Amino acid sequence: MDEIQISYTGHLATITINRPAKLNALTWEMVAALCDGLRTAEGSGTRVIALRGAGEHFCAGADIGVEASLNPLDYRRFVESIQEITLAIRRLPMPVIAAVDGYAVGGGAELAVACDWRLATSRCRIGFPEVTLGISVTSGVTHLLPRLIGFGRASEMLLTGRLVAAEEAQAIGLVNRVVPPDELDAAVAETAAQLARTGPLAVALQKRALAVGARSDLPTALDFETETIHTLFTTADAQEGFAAFLAKRPPRFQA
């Protein structure tokens, strides 16, 4: 049985971490397969990618047994391979949604934070307990988490290893939406349907502009926004969007 699986429904590609007996903990081979899966999904023409775990949990992070067996050099390589997932997600032109059920801890929480947004169930628990193992976070969490929930809350989570439940996670901005466990698939499908009605090039460039704006001063962000909207204005999608609005009909954007 493949431990990283990809399925397609309309414009949605779903990548499933499929090792439920181990709470979807990641091995080195699974990390490589997940990177490959993201590349495969990108090349499929999909408009949105959902990342989820099989069974009742999202991902318990790296397999501790695997980590403990590595020598220092191989451990560094393992960490760098996990970091490649974060870079791949952030570089993708389409949004990536983390569909979080149950535990998303350690590397699993890092995967969720790397995604563009997070839909979670009411039974989810998210956190970074690395310090309780005598190690630290990786995968860009020190860059991404403070931007999501603020420096103070990020510091508390990372330095204590405390897990947060769904209600608190939504309140502090760690997850975008909380639904009952049996409604998670429907919530992902609803979000994918909303994205399917948007201009794919506009979404891709808007995602890039968000990334630039987050690390830039205001004048730089304004300049990039100007270049972005000027580029989009000259596209067939923009022409279609304006025409559809004036004709009071749904737009038919190019796939």
Helix (H, G, I), strand (E, B) or coil at 14: strand
Cα–Cα distance, 103 to 120 (Å, whole number): 10
Cα–Cα distance, 34 to 24 (Å, whole number): 12
Q: Give yes or no: 42 in active site.
A: no
Please count the other Cβ atoms lying within 10 Å of the Cβ belonging to residue 94.
20
| 12 burial level (CB within 10 Å; 0-12, 13-18, 19+) | buried
- What string of H, E and C letters represents the secondary structure of 19-37? CHHHCCCECHHHHHHHHHH
Sign of the CA dihedral running 147, 90, 58, 80: negative
**CB of 125 closer than 8 Å to CB of 159:** no
Helix (H, G, I), strand (E, B) or coil at 170: helix
User: Which of 67, 110, 167, 227 is an active site residue?
Assistant: 110
**CB of 145 closer than 8 Å to CB of 113:** yes
Q: Give yes or no: 3 in active site.
A: no
Q: What one-letter code names the amino acid at 18?
A: N
Contacts of 152 (CB under 8 A, 6+ apart): none
User: Which of 3, 56, 67, 130 is an active site residue?
Assistant: 130
Catalytic residues: 110, 130
